Amino acid sequence: MKAGCGFGINRDVNHNEMQQNILPELKDSDLDISKYDTVFIGYPVWATDVPQAVLSFLNEYDLTGKTVIPFCTHDGYGAGGSYTTIAEASKAGKTLDGLAIEAKDVPSAQDTVTNWLNSIGITKKTENSAENGETAIKITVGDVVLDGILYNTVLAEEIKTYFPLTISMVGYGGREYYGGIDFYPQHLEDGQKTFENGNITYCEAHHNMAIFYAQTDNPNLSVDVIPIGKVTSDLSVFDDLSGSVQITFALAE
């Protein structure tokens, strides 16, 4: 059997199950889901949605009221409708932003996963957030002041030395505000072509910073971005902004 044939067979079986609305039976397990408040759901995207076996799991185990976090691999078309399917089928109390990685990028995705976990707050926390190395910041957008954090990365620390930093940003695609900066960071890291709502990023190719605020269910980008922080306040302010705006990043007092 050639490598990958088993995967293809499983995918074909899943497609037949989807067409016939069949939920496959799961193997017996002694998993006690009641012990967990947060549950990660990982899967490949097949036919733009979750595999039927994942729906079997969500049907069998009670995740009502829990925090559910989806992550998936795909062949270039993103998460499809899978995040919505999981949010609805799990009856979760909260569904955090998911992560979708193209299959070919999985072997080199360690930094992408780390940045994602940081962005959704899944890190080893201490009572004092400063001990985690995250830096509290304020983002001023017009008359509105938002809360945020900078990650504990070398690139974020370098950019922080330029704070307070005011950038003329323009809206793009109903998902982000971006603007060029007048310095060239030296401590670059591996980037990614996905984003999560709230991400503050640096893009080497376009030499700009951006804030992503919408469309995390369709996060594919044409160039790599490097997450350096996250807006932790309500992002709805970005929905009503004009085409261009001055945004200032500063350390929290």
For residue 142, the tally of other CB atoms under 10 A from its CB is 12
Q: What phi, psi does 52 have (nearest 5°)?
A: -60, -30
At residue 47, the pLDDT reads 85
At residue 130, the pLDDT reads 45
- Same structural domain for residues 173 and 220? yes
- Using only C-alpha atoms, what is the Rg of the chain? 20
- Same structural domain for residues 171 and 217? yes
CB-neighbour burial class of residue 209 (10 A; exposed 0-12, middle 13-18, buried 19+) = buried
- Same structural domain for residues 241 and 138? yes
- Same structural domain for residues 102 and 10? yes
- The verdict on residue 92 lying in a domain is yes
Residues whose CB falls within 8 Å of the CB of residue 187, separated by 6 or more in sequence, listed in order: 154, 155, 157, 158
- Same structural domain for residues 104 and 138? no
Which of 25-34, 86-95, 139-148, 206-215 is the least confident region?
A: 25-34
SS (H, E, C) the chain: CCCCHHHHHHHHHHHHHHHCCCCCCCCCCCCCHHHCCEEEEEEECECCECCHHHHHHHHHCCCCCCEEEEEEEECCCCCCCHHHHHHHHHCCCEECCCEEEEHHHHHHCHHHHHHHHHHCCCCCCCCCHHHHCCEEEEEEECCEEEEEEECCCHHHHHHHCCCCEEEEEEEECCCEEEEECCCCCCCCCCCECCCCCCEEEEECCCCEEEEECCCCCCCCCCCCEEEEEEECCCHHHHHHCCCEEEEEEEECC
- Same structural domain for residues 155 and 222? yes
Domain assignment of residue 33, given as a range: 5-108
Which of 2-6, 86-90, 104-108, 192-196 is the least confident region?
A: 2-6
- The verdict on residue 116 lying in a domain is no
- When pLDDT is cut at 50, 70 and 90, the band that residue 89 belongs to is very high
- The verdict on residue 84 lying in a domain is yes
Query: Does 246 have pLDDT greater than 90?
Result: yes
At residue 126, the pLDDT reads 37
Q: Per-residue pLDDT tens for 117-172?
A: 888 877 644 333 444 678 999 999 988 999 999 999 999 999 999 999 999 999 99
At residue 182, the pLDDT reads 94
At residue 5, the pLDDT reads 43
Which of 27-31, 53-57, 126-130, 153-157 is the least confident region?
A: 126-130
- The verdict on residue 87 lying in a domain is yes
- The verdict on residue 97 lying in a domain is yes
Between CA 62 and CA 10 the distance in angstroms is 26
- Same structural domain for residues 182 and 138? yes
- Same structural domain for residues 78 and 168? no
- Same structural domain for residues 11 and 104? yes
- The verdict on residue 10 lying in a domain is yes
- The verdict on residue 120 lying in a domain is no
Residue 61 belongs to domain with CATH number: 3.40.50.360
Give the chain's mean pLDDT.
Answer: 87
- The verdict on residue 113 lying in a domain is no
Greater confidence, 9 or 107?
Answer: 107
- Same structural domain for residues 156 and 242? yes
Q: How many domains does the chain have?
A: 2
Query: Does 114 have pLDDT greater than 50?
Result: yes
At residue 189, the pLDDT reads 87
CB-based contact 142:241 (threshold 8 Å): yes
Residue 134 belongs to domain with CATH number: 2.40.100.20
Greater confidence, 16 or 76?
Answer: 76
- Same structural domain for residues 137 and 247? yes
Question: What are the distances in angstroms from CA 248 to CA 1, 163, 224?
Answer: 58, 9, 23
CB-based contact 76:102 (threshold 8 Å): yes
User: Of the residues 108, 142, 160, which one is the last residue of a structural domain?
Assistant: 108
Between CA 42 and CA 98 the distance in angstroms is 10
- Same structural domain for residues 133 and 204? yes
